[in-house]
């Protein structure tokens, strides 16, 4: 997508990574007139997990000018269905019931399609995109950043005024600064694959994501276009360590632990290899350094149970674009701008994280499966599920009320709650 001929180049901003976060910030900065280069290690389209989006993603797609393209490659997702072995019937939360009903649906997408659309959009907006290009060395100073890369055109050196790390789980800057920390409050690992022939729900529920709790964690079931369905198990890491056979066999054995999911997959056939990832819940001590910023998963990643990954990544890219623009225009304002950015990003993470840390507890399952809409608290939870964590009035206090209800219910069942807390501590300590 870009000129590969020069071996040395200067620009305003180098972005490491061309996933949703990197492509989004590159497009936004290029729109503002900055000279932006994107170094993407893969060749798009390529497979990636994280296929379930939130309604508030659509507003970001619209602002980027790609909503119609996303609509073409996506399946409409009107809500989320939770299935619990301790409750007789599933519970569906519809996004149309949120406090702000203007975002009543989201999309389920093949990430290969989504990421290609966003990367092409960045190039269309004026960013220079270099695929199959790996950043192999980064040096930072008060004058900016120097990046050495290796790609199809050979080795190249970049001099930029600012560096954005959108490298995802590669966490280039966090590793460089030694600020990446495993999440002490949560630990999870996953195995997943794509299937065909998975039974889908009828009508407006056909595109909904489904969550199935089981003894060692939870499953996702995400319907996609071209007859595919993404099925994955997110488990405590200790459980993945019990594997003795192949990943394919282990996924089959894990599915067998959830009878309701077995029924959904009775006519299904897996057509991709099974992939596993180790513990992937982490957060960095800080999000910035001299003339550099971390966005998306390069800063933090939490359990994907509420489909928050792509939304948090893109939202951080929008906030990051404002921050980088401010730093480039007025370097003296940079310290204040990056601190404001970090507060903003941590705010969104904290709202999702509180739920994620407790989603496998009996109390949380009861509250989600048998909710009581006291003072609109259910609408607040639906708003969170829709990604409304920065905007609508009334969301935050309803979430706080839900948290209070959770704590009161936990106190009413002290034995059960103490056992759940003890098991969580043991599971988190078991990592590594």
Q: Which residue has the higher pLDDT, 357 or 196?
A: 196
Residues 167 and 208 in one domain: no
Statement to judge: residues 358 and 424 lie in one domain: yes
Alpha-carbon Rg for the chain, nearest whole angstrom, is 22
Return the structure tokens found at 173. 């800057």
Note the pLDDT of residue 273. Answer: 95
Between CA 326 and CA 332, with CA 329 as vertex, the angle to 5 degrees is: 80
Domain coverage including residue 366: 350-429
Is residue 337 one of the residues assigned to a domain?
Answer: yes
358-369 tens-digit pLDDT: 888 999 999 999
* Residue 187 binned pLDDT confidence (cut-offs 50, 70, 90): confident
pTM given for the model: 0.93
My answer on whether 246 and 272 are in the same domain is yes
Residue 250 in any domain: the answer is yes
In the predicted model, is pLDDT for residue 29 greater than 60? yes
Is residue 74 domain-resident? no
Provide the pLDDT for residue 3: 59
pLDDT tens sequence across 96-153: 999 998 999 999 999 999 999 999 999 999 999 999 999 999 999 888 999 999 999 8
**What is the pLDDT, as a whole number, of residue 31?**
98
Band of pLDDT at residue 70, cut at 50, 70 and 90: very high
82 part of a folded domain: no
Assess contact for 271 and 265: CB atoms under 8 A.
no
Residue 424: predicted pLDDT: 64
Q: Are 413 and 363 in contact (CB under 8 A)?
A: yes
Residue 432 has pLDDT above 60, yes or no: no
In the prediction, which pLDDT does 241 show? 83
Do residues 39 and 176 both lie within one domain? yes
> Does a structural domain hold residue 391?
yes
The residue out of 248, 277, 306 marking a domain boundary is 277
Residue 429 has pLDDT above 80, yes or no: no
- CA–CA gap between residue 5 and residue 393 (Å, rounded): 52
pLDDT digits (tens, 9 = 90+) for 220-248: 999 999 999 999 999 887 888 888 899 99
Does residue 398 belong to any structural domain of this protein? yes
- The CATH code of the domain that includes 209 is 3.30.9.100
When the pLDDT of each residue in the chain is averaged and rounded to a whole number, the result is: 92
Residue 5 has pLDDT above 70, yes or no: no
Mean pLDDT of 81-108: 95
Q: Does one domain contain both 120 and 148?
A: yes
Residue 380: inside a domain, yes or no? Answer: yes
Residue 95: inside a domain? no
Angle of helix 55-64 relative to helix 309-329, nearest 10 degrees, comes to 40
In this structure, are 206 and 219 located in the same domain?
Answer: yes
> Cα 165 to the chain's mean position, in Å?
16
The answer on 291 and 413 residing in a single domain is: no
Mean pLDDT of the region 416-423: 71
Together in a domain, 336 and 380: no
Asked if pLDDT for residue 425 goes beyond 90, the answer is no
Whether residue 392 sits in one domain with residue 304:
no
Q: Write out pLDDT tens, residues 249-294.
A: 999 999 999 999 999 999 999 999 999 887 668 899 999 999 999 9
Average pLDDT estimate for 38-48: 94
Given this model, what pLDDT does residue 279 score? 62
Domain check: are 259 and 205 in the same one?
Answer: yes
In the listed set 346, 368, 396, which residue is the last one of a domain according to the structure?
Answer: 346
The answer, yes or no, to whether residue 304 has pLDDT greater than 90, is: no
The CATH number of whichever domain residue 41 belongs to comes to 3.50.50.60
Check if the beta carbon of residue 381 is closer than 8 Å to that of residue 399. Answer: yes
How many distinct structural domains can be found in the chain? 3
Q: How far is CA 211 from the centre of its chain?
A: 16
- Whether 417 shows a pLDDT value over 90: the answer reads no
Q: What is the pLDDT of residue 237?
A: 78
Instruction: Tell whether the model's pLDDT for residue 184 goes beyond 90.
Output: no
- The band of 431, judged by pLDDT with boundaries at 50, 70 and 90, is low
| 323 burial via Cβ count (<10 Å: 0-12, 13-18, 19+) | buried
Out of 277, 301, 322, a domain closes at 277
Residues 135 and 153 both lie in one domain? yes
Same domain, 358 and 412: yes
Instruction: Determine the pLDDT at residue 2.
Output: 59
Residue 305's pLDDT is 78
């Amino acid at each position: 997508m870009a000129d590969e001929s020069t071996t040395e180049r200067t620009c305003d901003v180098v972005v490491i990574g061309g996933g949703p976060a990197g492509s989004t910030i590159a497009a936004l900065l290029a729109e503002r007139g900055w000279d932006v280069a994107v170094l993407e290690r893969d060749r798009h389209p390529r497979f990636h997990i994280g296929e379930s989006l939130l309604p508030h993603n659509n507003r970001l797609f619209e602002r980027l000018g790609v909503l119609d393209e996303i609509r073409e490659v996506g399946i409409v997702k009107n809500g989320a269905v939770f299935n619990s072995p301790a409750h007789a019937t599933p519970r569906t939360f519809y996004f149309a019931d949120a406090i702000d009903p203007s975002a009543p649906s989201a999309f389920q997408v093949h990430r290969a399609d989504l990421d290609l659309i966003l990367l092409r959009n960045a190039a269309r907006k004026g960013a220079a995109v270099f695929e199959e290009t790996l950043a192999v060395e980064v040096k930072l100073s008060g004058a900016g950043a120097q990046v050495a890369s290796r790609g199809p055109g050979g080795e190249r050196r970049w001099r930029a005024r600012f560096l954005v790390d959108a490298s995802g789980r590669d966490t280039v800057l966090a590793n460089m600064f030694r600020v990446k920390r495993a999440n002490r409050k949560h630990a999870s690992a996953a195995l997943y694959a794509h299937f065909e022939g998975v039974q889908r729900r009828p009508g407006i529920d056909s595109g909904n994501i489904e969550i199935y709790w089981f003894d060692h964690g939870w499953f996702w079931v995400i319907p996609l276009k071209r007859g595919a369905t993404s099925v994955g198990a997110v488990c405590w890491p200790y459980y993945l360590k019990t594997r003795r056979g192949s990943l394919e066999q282990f996924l089959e054995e894990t599915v067998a632990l959830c009878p309701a999911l077995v029924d959904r997959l009775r006519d299904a056939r897996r057509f991709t290899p099974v992939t596993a990832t180790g513990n992937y819940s982490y957060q960095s001590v800080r999000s910035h350094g001299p003339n550099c910023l971390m966005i998306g998963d390069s800063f933090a990643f939490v359990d994907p149970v509420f489909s928050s990954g792509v939304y948090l990544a893109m939202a951080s890219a929008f906030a990051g674009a404002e921050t980088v623009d401010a730093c480039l225009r007025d370097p003296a304002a940079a310290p204040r701008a990056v601190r404001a950015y970090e507060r903003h990003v941590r705010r969104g993470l904290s709202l999702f994280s509180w739920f994620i840390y407790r989603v496998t507890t009996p109390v949380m399952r009861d509250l989600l499966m048998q909710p009581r809409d006291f003072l609109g608290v259910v609408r607040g939870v639906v708003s969170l599920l829709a990604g409304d964590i920065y905007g609508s009035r009334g969301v935050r206090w309803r979430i706080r009320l839900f948290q209070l209800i959770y704590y009161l219910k936990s106190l009413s069942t002290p034995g059960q709650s103490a056992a759940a807390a003890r098991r969580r501590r043991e599971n988190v300590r078991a990592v590594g």
